[in-house]
Amino acid sequence: MKEIKNLVNGSWHSSIKTWEKTSPFDGRVVARVHEADKALVDEAIAAGRKEAFGAWGNMAMPQRVAIVRNMAQRLSARVDDLIEADMADTGRPYWQASNFDGRRATNLFEGYCDLALGLENRSKNFVGPAGFEGLWISQRRPKGVIACIAPWNVPLLMMVLKVAPALVMGNAVMAKPSEETPSSTSILAEVIAASDIPDGAFALLNGFGRDSTGSFLSEHPDVDAILFTGEPGTGSEIMRSAASNLREVGMELGGKNASLVFEDADMDLAIEGSTRSVFFNCGQICFCTERIFVHKSRFDEFSARLTHAGKNIVIGEQNHDGFSIGPLVSKAHREKVYSIVQTVPKEGGEFLCGGGIPEFGDARDNGAFFQPTIAIGLADNATMMQEETFGPVAHISSFDDEDEVIVRANNTRYGLAATIWTKDVGRSLSVSQQLRVGHVWVNSWQIRDLHSPLAGAGISGVGEVGGRSSLEFCSQPQTITVRVK
Ligand code: NAD
């Protein structure tokens, strides 16, 4: 069986505590994973501090970028292994694994190398009160040790979004993948271990969250900043530990994203986009649409067409050549999705399709599959309209006018993203400005430049990440003022 160990100070460490990672596709064991205990986390952080405030952190940017670029090239050479690891951990189909997580993660490394090289220092000449003439230069120094705690839904990409900016800016990285998806990050660690990066500057620490590796990291006083993606509840727990030592946090959290389909929408485009935004990755993308509001004049047409699409989605065929979905990430996650879906009939709603667990009559029945589900008839405050399901599940409501739908779309504590379907450009801009979310897509979904800023409103995020914002988060501004005259 594949063994996944921890990488600390250049060496692979096993542990007496291990767990078996199983596939959500058919329940088979994928790997035995070694849990990093507190002593190992302490050792990794101590080694990291030496590098972040030593050779690695002080290295000239072009030299450091050359090392990171070389990692990106080595990672690209492992793309087939990354696809296999991703499919084993998540059960997702090949078409998706081959286009999404690993390849985008590799490109992201290169992108951060380019951005970091283009980063310029700020400077200004000035005259002080007593005629003193000076010049200040503000440059960005490493922040120190950065804990990168990732979720399972797009495992490598979510990790690289943190690791790449942290490394190029000269920090030491403590990478903690989700316990559900350790495999692709362990390949990243192999690649980094084979690169010219100093040993202590990167550690792979596997484990769980509370009372395990995750909290050993987030509670550690020598971790200087935490980059986290996951659930808002976990985010607030991490923020509490960070508060005790006044560490900075950057957080991308959940969503309860609305889609607004206006009377003038291009319906073919809206159906194609909504099929992806509801069902892609089995609904396990933070930007997935979970609440759809359709103008009353198009409600029947839209509902019938999206239901038709939902009923015809291919499920659980990893080699199907076209849009299809895999399972949810685990049976535990399926329990959560199912418990929310079961509130639909109790709270006055009904299903147009799905609502339950599919049966295959083979090994896939040991997996964590869920039917593509569309519901209608719920009030805006119903459980499924307020709780993030993170599954292939959405509710469709109808609306009468623009002012009404804006209020209803904003009726959530989340504020991650929204989608607008209309041919009226002016309306798309004016409605966007009234939606309390970090990202709005107009007549599209999930077409995203990963260097654009991302900041969730409400409980969907803390701080801003993406591109230059991530480089700034991962560095400490230092101003030097020199007396000129
Ligand atoms: P999660 O919060 O359960 O876990 C995320 C990570 O945090 C895991 O590595 C976990 O082990 C760790 N963790 C858990 N408790 C911890 C603690 N007390 N201290 C330190 N670490 C801890 O989230 P998940 O279930 O893996 O991911 C799904 C969630 O992530 C959804 O809410 C989804 O919307 C969100 N998400 C958001 C974005 C975004 O960009 N906004 C992207 C992807 C996923």
pLDDT in tens, 348-398: 999 999 999 999 999 999 999 999 999 999 999 999 999 999 999 999 999
d(CA 47, CA 42): 9
Cα–Cα distance, 358 to 348 (Å, whole number):
23
Ligand 1: residue of 153, 218, 234 to mutate (most ligand atoms within 8 A of CB) is 234
Q: Give per-residue pLDDT as tens, 31-70.
A: 999 999 999 999 999 999 999 999 999 999 999 999 999 9
User: What is the phi-psi region of residue 61: left when phi exceeds 0, alpha when psi lies from -120 to 50, beta otherwise?
Assistant: alpha
Expressed in angstroms and rounded, the spacing between residue 152 Cα and the centre of ligand 1 is 7
What percentage of residues in the chain have a pLDDT greater than 90?
95
Let me know if 106 is exposed, middle or buried by CB neighbors in 10 A (0-12, 13-18, 19+): buried
DSSP annotation of 364 reads G
Neighbours of 415 (CB within 10 A): 23
State the pLDDT at residue 336.
98
Is the model's pLDDT at 101 over the cut of 90? no
**Of 106-110, 195-199, 402-406, which range is least confident?**
106-110
pLDDT of residue 111: 95
Distance (Å) of CA 111 to CA 107, 166, 201, 227, 467: 6, 13, 20, 19, 8
Query: Would residue 474 show up in a list of annotated catalytic residues for this protein?
Result: no
Question: Of residues 286, 288, 290, 388, which has the active-site annotation?
Answer: 286
Q: Is the CB of 161 under 6 A from ligand 1?
A: no
**The CATH fold of domain 2-253+460-483:** Aldehyde Dehydrogenase; Chain A, domain 1 (3.40.605)
Q: Is the CB of 229 under 6 A from ligand 1?
A: yes
Q: Quote the ligand 1 centre to 8 CA distance (angstroms).
A: 23
Q: Which residues contact 107 (CB under 8 A, 6 or more apart)?
A: none
Q: Is 89 in the pocket of ligand 1 (CB under 6 A)?
A: no
Distances (CA, A) of 249 to 94, 143, 224: 34, 12, 9
- The amino acid that residue 450 corresponds to is L
Spatial CA neighbour of 88 closest among 20, 18, 30, 33 = 30
Provide the total of helices (H) and of strands (E) in the chain, helices listed first: 18, 25
Neighbours of 141 (CB within 10 A): 16
For the beta carbon of residue 282, count every other beta carbon within 10 angstroms.
31
Res 1: pLDDT: 85
DSSP summary character for residue 290: E
373 pocket-lining for ligand 1 (C-beta < 6 Å)? no
Sheet holding 18-22, edge to edge: 2-4, 29-34, 18-22
Question: Does the C-beta of 215 come closer than 6 Å to ligand 1?
Answer: yes
| CA–centroid distance, residue 390 to ligand 1 (Å) | 12
Domain range list for the chain: 2-253+460-483, 257-450
Q: Is the CB of 234 under 6 A from ligand 1?
A: yes
Tell me if 142 CB under 6 Å of ligand 1: no
Phi and psi torsions of 367, nearest 5°: -90, -160
Q: How confident is the model at residue 127 (pLDDT cuts 50, 70, 90)?
A: very high
d(CA 213, CA 4): 15
Q: Whose CA is nearest to atom 15 of ligand 1?
A: 209
Give the span between the Cα atoms of 176 and 209, in whole angstroms.
9
Q: Residue 408 to residues 38, 266, 270, 358: CA-CA distances in angstroms?
A: 46, 22, 20, 32
> Known catalytic residue: 120?
no
- Which tens digits make up the pLDDT trace of 160-191? 999 999 999 999 999 999 999 999 999 999 99
**Dihedral sign, Cα of residue 256, residue 213, residue 53, residue 60:** negative
Q: How far is the CA of 209 from the centre of ligand 1 (A)?
A: 9
Q: What is the pLDDT of residue 46?
A: 98
Two tokens at 116? 């970091």
Q: Say which residue, 279 or 130, is predicted with more confidence.
A: 279
Q: Verify whether ligand 1 is closer than 6 Å to residue 165 (CB atom).
A: no
Alpha helices in 219-328 (DSSP H): 232-244, 267-279, 299-311
Indicate the length of the chain as a whole number: 485
Rounded Cα distance, 220 and 44, in Å: 11
- From 163, 181, 231, 285, give the residue whose CB has the most ligand 1 atoms within 8 Å, as the site to mutate: 231
Q: Is 268's pLDDT higher than 90?
A: yes
User: What is the dotted CATH code of the domain comprising 257-450?
Assistant: 3.40.309.10
Find the radius of gyration of the CA atoms of the chain: 24
> DSSP character for 36?
P
Provide φ and ψ at 121, rounded to 5°.
Answer: -75, 150
Token pair 């409980």 is found at 459
Whether the pLDDT of residue 275 is over 90: the answer is yes
Secondary structure (DSSP) of 245-265: TT-EEEEE----EEEEE-TT-
- DSSP track, 80-111: HHHHHHHHHHH---HHHHHHTHHHHHHHHHHH
Mean pLDDT of 452-471: 96
- State how far the Cα of 89 lies from the Cα of 73, in Å rounded to an integer: 24
**What pLDDT does 129 receive?**
86
- Confidence tier at 103 by pLDDT (50, 70, 90): confident
- Ligand 1 centre from 252 Cα, in Å? 9
Ligand 1 near 290 CB (within 6 A): no
155 closest CA partner among 135, 117, 182: 182
101 lines ligand 1 (CB under 6 A): no
Give kind and range of the element (H or E) at residue 19: strand 18-22
Name the burial class of residue 182, with classes exposed (0-12), middle (13-18) and buried (19+) by CB atoms within 10 angstroms of its CB.
Answer: buried
Q: What distance in angstroms lies between residue 389's CA and the mean position of ligand 1's atoms?
A: 14
Counting ligand 1 atoms within 8 A of each CB, the residue from 21, 104, 153 with the most, and so the one to mutate, is 153
* Active-site pick, 51, 179, 237, 252: 252
The confidence score (pLDDT) of residue 260 equals: 98
Taking all residues of the chain, what is their mean pLDDT, rounded to a whole number? 97
DSSP secondary structure string for all residues of 425-449:
HHHHHHHHHHS--SEEEES-SS---
**How far is residue 442's CA from residue 437's CA, in Å, rounded to a whole number?**
13
- Which atom belonging to ligand 1 lies closest to the Cα atom of 178? 9
* Ligand 1 atom with least separation from CA of 151: 26
Contact 261/227 with Cβ under 8 angstroms? no
H/E stretch holding 412 reads: none
Tokens standing for residue 125: 């000449």
